[in-house]
Structure 1
């Protein structure tokens, strides 16, 4: 199933989006509703809150007195942390149970106001953020909720900043306009991304890619995007994965590239790579068979040292290549050395940029990137290998060492 984390600041319009997604067919898990459910009378949650905060936290009917609890934790980070330590695990457990009961091809949307603050982004295939400028949200809280400016600003300050939420977002819904404009964006996201993603995930196949090699100027968002995806992959199998590194052209500042994120997943050996395959597929990165070796280079012509497992993203709106290699292998070392050479040697960056631009122009009419990729391969052996090997020797470059 496709798991979506939905979040947004107070008065951003997140509830409108959640309701629309449910109308379109999503299984909705509302964290706020669950937070109330897990502290109902007779629950473990309420018992633990009473033990922590005292019986005075209850009203005359034995239910949680929420205003009194709010007063107890407001402005007191330690008491708030104690409350969160009780409620958040219970909410997550209940959400997990609802998710587990959903159909294999379902789109499960978890509405989590504090998703960013609690660092849960890596647990989802996508994080969707409902966004509105701070001044718009402030106006809504005052006009629609009757809050004072001071109270509204205090509530906003207690949450993640707008910049922090946007940094965590795989998709952003802009709610600075009308409700209908927001609903149209939700429908576009559902039809154009979520449903195809869920279908690909259920089928265990990568999203199709069409068109030739189109190079784009380097984008700062590539590093941020790679970081989010790397965290998601690492969380899928922490016992098997040694590291996830951003490699390839999008990892090199200043280098034009196809809008495709390349990540290298380091594992102890290829046996671990095989065990990792179904876990990566469940995380949204199914295996692509038939691409299981890099071209050996003169420094190590043994083909077995260049074996890998290759996965690609099921998300139709974000192209990702995942290269699973044994740490210490020739292919693993080459990918890291090549990236660091381009990052640190301006002449190398210029040389490769010119080569890429020439080939992209030559194969501009190709329906896929295959011809472009094949034409680049001799350059990696004939030009890059001797130059970057000399650079590594001159600078003392060594690949990272991962703690076992």
Structure 2
């Protein structure tokens, strides 16, 4: 029986740069499981989650194509913690099931990366071999949401403040990646963490 891949949990708050770090890990041969992308899939029209969300939030969350408009839905749940809980109760079980299926199906990569904003809160972090947290200062999060994702500044602040403080994630981290600088600075930190956590398993 061959060695199993190292299971890396990758998390961080909104606009801190999880996806940037995930792309760097993919370049090193890691298999990336993007929980946000899976969440897109499990709420598509015709799925059980779609029907449940529609019953809870109404047709005003739909786009012209009949699919759930995540921007509209986000405008509701980021302002209302109870609404967020209701949404997560529908979406999280379906996402967790698909993540587990993909982990079990992958055996060839040196590492599997589960990229998820709610990695710790969902309990998934404790199934991982190592937990990596990506950070950046709040003003930079807001700037990225405004410049790169087109949010109004007020909406960007609401989304940042709707999440638990970054310190709560950092407290559990094996690796902290500061993504407030340029890409080369981030890449150096990723390379160092890979050498510490993955290379010994590959070469043992």
Fold shared per TM-score above 0.5: yes
Q: Which residue pairs with 1:166 in the alignment?
A: 170
SS of the equivalent of 1:197 reads helix
- How large is the RMSD of aligned CA atoms in angstroms? 2.2
Q: Which residue pairs with 2:62 in the alignment?
A: 58
Q: Is contact 1:116-1:164 (8 Å) kept?
A: no
Q: Which residue pairs with 2:27 in the alignment?
A: 23
Instruction: Work out which structure has the larger RCO, using CA pairs closer than 8 Å and 6 or more positions apart in sequence.
Output: 2
Q: Which residue pairs with 1:299 in the alignment?
A: none
Q: Which residue pairs with 2:11 in the alignment?
A: 7
Pair 1:96-2:100 in alignment: yes
Query: Cα–Cα, structure 1 residues 155 and 59, in superposed 2: closer, same or farther, change >3 Å?
Result: closer
CA shift for structure 1 position 143? 4.3
Query: Cα–Cα, structure 1 residues 46 and 125, in superposed 2: closer, same or farther, change >3 Å?
Result: same
Q: Which structure would you say has the larger Rg?
A: 1
Q: Is contact 2:132-2:175 (8 Å) kept?
A: yes
64-73 vs 162-171, greater mean Cα deviation: 64-73
CA shift for structure 1 position 53? 2.7
User: Unpaired runs of 5+ in structure 1?
Assistant: 201-404
Query: Cα–Cα, structure 1 residues 133 and 38, in superposed 2: closer, same or farther, change >3 Å?
Result: same
Query: Cα–Cα, structure 1 residues 89 and 152, in superposed 2: closer, same or farther, change >3 Å?
Result: same
Alignment of 1:188-203 (within 5 A): 188-197=192-201
TM-score scaled by length of structure 2:
0.86
CA shift for structure 1 position 55? 4.2
136-145 vs 120-129, greater mean Cα deviation: 136-145
User: Unpaired runs of 5+ in structure 2?
Assistant: none
Structure 2 counterpart of 1:179, from 183, 188, 193: 183
CA shift for structure 1 position 121? 2.2
Q: What is the CA–CA distance in structure 2 between the aligned matches of 1:4 and 1:20, rounded to whole Å?
A: 13
Q: Is contact 1:38-1:90 (8 Å) kept?
A: yes
TM-score scaled by length of structure 1:
0.46
SS of the equivalent of 1:192 reads helix
